[in-house]
Amino acid sequence: MLIDIISVFPEYFDVFNLSLLGKAQDKGLLTFNVHNLRDWTHDVHHSVDDTPVGGGAGMVMKPEVWANCLDDLLDIPPLEDISDADPHIGENSHTTLVFPNPSAPTFTQADATELSYTDHLIFGCGRYEGYDGRIPAYYKAQGFDVREYSIGDYVLNGGEVAVSVMVEATTRLIDGFMGNRDSIVKESYTGSEGLLEHRQYTKPTSWRGMDVPEILLSGHHANIDRFRRDEELRRTSDIRPDIIEKLGCRMLDKKDRKL
Ligand code: SAM
């Protein structure tokens, strides 16, 4: 997978060379290119923002600079070389453009799973009051797959942290990324049910007067599975009743219904 990231603070992404993301690059599973948006400016101040049309506080990211950069990364020919008869340039593209935006739908595990099958992702990090609203609309109109996602109901200073979250959630699902694929199959928000995972314990089995649940020491796999599933259902129903509501009765087995 090729991942292009556009930001006015490209250094933010130096951390991608660490840990499993770094290893995935070494293994050739992933290539990251981080671009400084200011490289596509043509003025002496390298300005990427301007005042909001209609008034208001703060600054808005200019559409021309974003388009200079995105057209380059998407290999779009100069406008004067495109005729009206040409099909929309994005229609046969394998690229997905992702813009973080606090006022967009929330990014979920299902979105991460979908993005993990993509060949090429371009993430554009907003700053200030955000990017000009015509940018996602323009590339969508050109036939590109364009997504806007929020990572939660709060406002960050910029899209860099949001993009890091989405990149990490997505890339760990790529085949070969994790040493043991089981560790991503049985996780919170995953699979057809999307339940929250049961609590996990390790050794020592007794620590500061607290014991791990006895059943986990029994070696009886069916009972352990039942115990964990009950805990997942209880935790999900306490913390995220919305997930249980969506599940409906058909996903529950006979023993679940007794809970
Ligand atoms: N004026 C915007 C609003 O109220 O919705 C907030 C702009 S924010 C200060 C600047 C940039 O940070 C956004 O364009 C977006 O790229 C990113 N950002 C901030 N909070 C975010 C969130 N919760 N999820 C995703 N991106 C976020």
What does the pLDDT look like over 76-101, one tens digit per residue? 988 888 887 777 889 889 999 999 99
**How confident is residue 19, by pLDDT bands cut at 50, 70 and 90?**
confident
Which numbered atom of ligand 1 lies nearest the CA of 125? 16
Counting residues of the chain whose pLDDT is more than 70, the rounded percentage is: 97
Short-list 60, 1, 61, 59, CA closest to 30: 1
Residue among 97, 155, 157, 161 to mutate when testing ligand 1 (max atoms within 8 A of CB): 155
CA of 126 to the centre of ligand 1 (A): 7
Closest residue (by CA) to atom 17 of ligand 1?
159
CA of 36 to the centre of ligand 1 (A): 18
- Decide: 136 in ligand 1 pocket, CB within 6 A: no
**How confident is residue 258, by pLDDT bands cut at 50, 70 and 90?**
low
- Decide: 57 in ligand 1 pocket, CB within 6 A: no
**How confident is residue 74, by pLDDT bands cut at 50, 70 and 90?**
very high
* DSSP secondary structure letter of residue 61: E
pLDDT of residue 223: 98
| Whether pLDDT at 257 is above 80 | no
Range(s) for CATH 1.10.1270.20 in the chain?
195-257
- CA distances to 34, 41, 42, 48, 49 from 45, rounded to whole Å, are 21, 9, 9, 9, 11
pLDDT of residue 112: 98
Domain 2-171, what architecture?
A: 3-Layer(aba) Sandwich (3.40)
Reply yes or no on domain 195-257 having CATH 1.10.1270.20: yes
Range(s) for CATH 3.40.1280.10 in the chain?
2-171
CA distance 121 to 124: 10
Residue among 8, 129, 156 to mutate when testing ligand 1 (max atoms within 8 A of CB): 156
Q: What count of other Cβ atoms lies within 10 Å of the Cβ of residue 84?
A: 4
Q: Residues 133-149: what's their mean pLDDT? A: 97
Which numbered atom of ligand 1 lies nearest the CA of 126? 16
| Whether pLDDT at 254 is above 80 | no
- Decide: 158 in ligand 1 pocket, CB within 6 A: yes
H or E segment to which residue 113 belongs? helix 109-115
**How confident is residue 250, by pLDDT bands cut at 50, 70 and 90?**
low
Counting residues of the chain whose pLDDT is more than 90, the rounded percentage is: 82
CA of 127 to the centre of ligand 1 (A): 7
SS3 track for 2-50 = EEEEEECCHHHHHHHHCHHHHHHHHCCCCEEEEEEHHHHCCCCCCCCEE
Closest residue (by CA) to atom 6 of ligand 1?
129
Q: Is the ipTM of this complex over 0.95?
A: yes
Q: Copy the structure tokens of residue 102.
A: 């606090």
| Whether pLDDT at 116 is above 90 | yes
N- to C-terminal Cα separation, the chain: 43
Query: Checking phi first, is residue 61 left (phi over 0); if not, alpha (psi -120 to 50) or beta?
Result: beta
CA distance 191 to 239: 18
CA of 162 to the centre of ligand 1 (A): 9
CA of 147 to the centre of ligand 1 (A): 14
- Decide: 124 in ligand 1 pocket, CB within 6 A: no
| Whether pLDDT at 253 is above 80 | no
